[in-house]
Structure 1
Amino acid sequence: MQAFPSAVDCVRLVDSKSDDPRKIRIDAALSLLYGTGCLVSEILELGTAHIEGTETETRVAFKGGRGGAPLARTVALSGKAKLIFDRHLDGIGLDPERLLFVSERGHALNGSTLNAELARRCAALGFVERLTTGDLRRACVRHCLERGMRADQLAVLLGVSDVNTVVALGR
């Protein structure tokens, strides 16, 4: 069974501390994954029109309700994740027709790209095991539960209806 990374290790993974727009884009995607527990498919479908924000909170409208109905939930990013995410938004602007996470060629990023970058970062930081985007979601859940967040509250954040799903993710 794979060991979960600590919260400190997760922050190290999602922040390359680079000024390269490509790295900032990946940092923002990984920060959103770890900071909110979103699925990779959810964030890769997000457009800038889905984002509303203040200094302390970002509201993201996710698809995924039953029958394709929008499932909107408020996602509050931590200081570090918010900082990284805002750096990415500053770089791309808020064109309402634009996806948040696209390649240099304008194509939507995919989970393989994010997993490959996570593998590179794990190796660079000397991690024994490679982590995936799914591992960041599970780490988010586990760290929230360890800090005392109730499973029913976390279910709302994750957009799941069954508390047992939260418990299983946090194992």
Structure 2
Amino acid sequence: MTGGGRATRTAHEALPPAMREAVDDFADHLARVRNRSAHTVRAYVADLVSLLDHGMRMGCSQPSELDLTVLRSWLAKQRTLGAARTSLARRAAAARTFSAWAHRAGVLPSDVAAPLSSPRAHRDLPTVLRADQAAALVEAAGNGVAPTRRDDPTEPTDATRDDPGDTADSRDDPVRLRDRVLLELLYGTGVRVSEACGLDVADVDHSRRVVRVLGKGGRERSVPYGVPAQRAIDDWLRSGRPAVAVPGSGDALLLGARGGRLNPTTARRIVAGYAESLGLPRVSPHGLRHSAATHLLEGGADLRAVQELLGHSSLGSTQIYTHVSVERLRAAYRQAHPRA
């Protein structure tokens, strides 16, 4: 079985052989054929193991014995256990994906999950910084702001993971130069934190000022960045990266203090640390992505262009930012208009 936590692996091992084989084949299909991310594969595998375990408790010994009754019973149990609507929606999607694949592969006699409905996931409007707040955060490392130390004593450490609090007072400190590039890229391009950490040096096209990003599903896109980000990248490549690079650094653009590729978890702590030092609302790299998209739309950018920049496969994923803009306009109206 690919990935999964200890509980998932234990439940997987308790399944009958035919069910275990179906799980493994499905995981292989997701990773190799559908090119899904490791995170998605782990989530879907965990959901499938849970579903098959539930089916086994209802008397199923083969994947072919699953039916709509078992699927609905499984989702109902998840609901009684307190699963959020977003979790239920994802689990229903995992069941439908497995059912469609299993039917094509001859594991199921029919696509039993095709009529399965799921609760519409509630989508909270994302937290968005004001433009001046985003600018202050992005410029923090270059302005000599020290990030609040955000160590997690429960998180294992290794030779490739750096300490975001391990920065010097000098603005030329390599880690501080790295932080400046990270913040500029996250807000200046709107890329996901995993995409930023996955960038290689060769992915930066200095002449055209674009970065080549490998997004979800292995989809590649080119995203422009501005002059401030270019200056930050130049300073990092000239004075920062050579100071921390080690033989094992490879081609990674962003490095940890010990020379390994920057870890997304560490990147999240860096962003949160600077935001806390500045007294800003609690924000994550994804919050900077939200802010970039909202500010683009408020500045008159076309929705389709923003969709392309963010790497959304569906325009519906991008449209949530139009709602954010409307809510901000409504809030300003209520605060300022005498007839509000």
Q: Give TM class, smaller chain.
A: 0.7 to 0.9
Mapped partners of 1:3, 1:168: distance in 2: 12
For 1:138-165, what per-residue CA distance to the aligned partner results, in whole angstroms no more than 9, with x for missing partners? 0000000000001101111122232221
Q: Does 1:126 align with 2:279?
A: yes
- Aligned AA (1:77): Y
111-120 vs 137-146, which deviates more? 111-120
- Aligned AA (1:5): L
Matches for 1:69-108 after TM superposition, within 5 Å:
71-73=220-222, 75-91=223-239, 92=241, 97-108=250-261
Match of 2:304, SS state, is helix
Q: Does the CA contact (< 8 Å) of 2:181 and 2:236 recur in 1?
A: yes
Segments of 5+ residues of structure 2 without an aligned counterpart are 1-124, 143-170, 243-248, 325-340
Q: Does 1:62 align with 2:201?
A: no
Q: Does 1:4 align with 2:128?
A: yes
- Indicate which of 145, 157, 166 corresponds to 2:309: 157
TM-score by length of 1: 0.84
Match of 1:131, SS state, is coil
Structure exhibiting the larger radius of gyration computed from Cα positions: 2
CA gap of 1:164–1:2, structure 2 versus 1, over 3 A, is: closer
Mapped partners of 1:120, 1:61: distance in 2: 28
Q: Does the CA contact (< 8 Å) of 1:32 and 1:85 recur in 2?
A: no
Matches for 1:137-148 after TM superposition, within 5 Å:
137-148=289-300
Mapped partners of 1:117, 1:41: distance in 2: 14
- Indicate which of 7, 11, 23 corresponds to 2:176: 23
CA gap of 1:116–1:142, structure 2 versus 1, over 3 A, is: same
Match of 2:178, SS state, is helix
Size of the alignment, in residue pairs? 163
What is the CA distance between 1:42 and its match in structure 2?
0.7
1:166 alignment partner in structure 2: 318
Mapped partners of 1:51, 1:79: distance in 2: 13
Mapped partners of 2:236, 2:319: distance in 1: 32
What is the CA distance between 1:90 and its match in structure 2?
2.1
Higher strand share: 1
139-148 vs 108-117, which deviates more? 108-117
For 1:3-62, what per-residue CA distance to the aligned partner results, in whole angstroms no more than 9, with x for missing partners? 5211221121122122211011011011101001101111111111212212xx422222
- Aligned AA (2:312): V
Mapped partners of 1:138, 1:108: distance in 2: 25
What is the CA distance between 1:169 and its match in structure 2?
4.4
CA gap of 1:109–1:124, structure 2 versus 1, over 3 A, is: same
- Aligned AA (1:27): R
Identity %: 28
What is the CA distance between 1:78 and its match in structure 2?
2.0
TM-score by length of 2: 0.44
1:49 alignment partner in structure 2: 202
